[in-house]
Structure 1
Amino acid sequence: MGVDIALFSAGGSIRKHFGPVAVEKGSVVVDNSSAFRMEEGIPLVIPEVNPEAMEGIKVGTGKGALIANPNCSTIICLMAATPLHKHAKNSVYLSVICKSLSLVKGDTNGCWYISSSQCGAGAAAMEELELQIREVLEGKPPTCNVFKQQYAFNLFSHNAPILSNGYNEEEMKLVKETRKIWNDMNVKVTATCIRGPVMRAHAESVNLQFKKPIDEYTAKDILKSAPGVVVNDDRASNHFPTPLEVSNKDDVAVGRIRRDVSQDGYKGLDIFVCGDQIRKGAALIAIQIAEMLL
């Protein structure tokens, strides 16, 4: 085949067919879909988090392999959560995530809340959001072709299929992928996913519970030294990360770093995380993985 590394970002059926074909021909495939993420033996990789998962994979040897990118929400959240997890070890991991067309994951106990952007829903949804905003402001009924309900000035449950356990597929990606990436089937993750009217970049409010104490000052120092993470935590001016500020940026921004007052001692933290789901949540990760293989 003559291709050392193949970056796949096509439709699911195309990836499912041509991914194994490329591997059979000796290419290392980096796949940016959910097609192979949870398959046994296929590493699910965030370069700053678990590069060791790619050990043994070499390019140019004629031996192909497949590496999967995680879901964009998982990437952005774990970029911030993993350095803290490595320091204090999570016994329970809960988060609130906001993506661009907003996907919100969470519940009243501080579970994953994800707000997903229209960008995560595709160009058609972004265009329809702009149209709906104009229509609503002009007093017209909004056009609802992409989704069945208005999303301008609104939030609604993510449109992924609902499973028998009451979670939808998008929520379960976060649960399963976190456990695989951390190589810990016992870490507790829960999620609720809602869409909201943000064009681009995810904003995630994350609640973490730990086995070991960790105060907010230690957490801030850890995050400041974490690769791919910038800390924006200015309480005096009430300036913290926003989806707008991280759009078209490579780094994940973290702020609102504080002790969880619902937990005894210093075994719980709340943080707010924003990241561009197209760059860090997809394209950049694939390039980083390819660079690590060279």
Structure 2
Amino acid sequence: MAKKKNTKPHNEMSFLDHLEELRWHLIRSVFAVVIIGCAAFLMRGFIFDTVIFGPYSMDFPTYRIFCNIATYLGFDSAFCADKLPFVIQSRQMSGQFSMHIWTSVWAGVILGFPYILYELWKFISPGLYEKERQNSRGFILIASLLFFMGVLFGYYVVAPLSINFLGTYQVSELVKNDIDIESFVGNIKTSVLACGVLFELPIIIFFLTKVGIVTPEILKKYRKIALVVVLILSAVITPPDVTSQIIVAVPVIVLYQVSIYISAVALRKEAKKERKQKGLNKR
């Protein structure tokens, strides 16, 4: 069924018209995720053997780097082991098939993130002034870049360090680690998605500053509280080991500092625009 084209100006649309518009943006976003997910489903070997199970191999770049550092400093390290001391298993009849489907869906969400942002932007941009649309022209590019930086950080730093620590941890030699595939993939998925979202902090602060909710002074005033919140978030999104929490907390704290600068720049531009507008009104 073809979409009924809405010819009304955006500011004259009713609430139901807005809902109808949002529905079509969501449908297109879901359709994009499904298409990418189907492609990922067909690329099972690459998605699982190369990407998902990459941190399971001790040849993974992160392990080699930390092994080289430990060797240079003269320390023995678990990163230099031949293999991780656990086996990945599936304990349910449909476990591997279900994991294949859901991993493909999440691959569609991650890889389709720029298009999802594009649909979101198409929905909200008609409600903005022309200057606001021009000033936010690079929104999709910057937000996507930050998201994928977070995804790479989660995949190459947080996930392998968590897997190495938790996979080698033992309360007793009598207890062997046989990790269920759902737990293993869930660890990677959580690390990747959480870091991707956390790296969007500068974008979030920029828009909160534009609408007048936060200012650089507020961000500086509540810096200590923000640090505590960051540590709590790090504890929630990472496995329960201190190393992973610190690793996640450090870049988020850096991003928070960057967000203060971005907030200050956005505020200065807003003040400059207001002064210019007042000058034009006086004429």
TM normalised by structure 2 equals 0.28
Higher helix share: 2
Higher strand share: 1
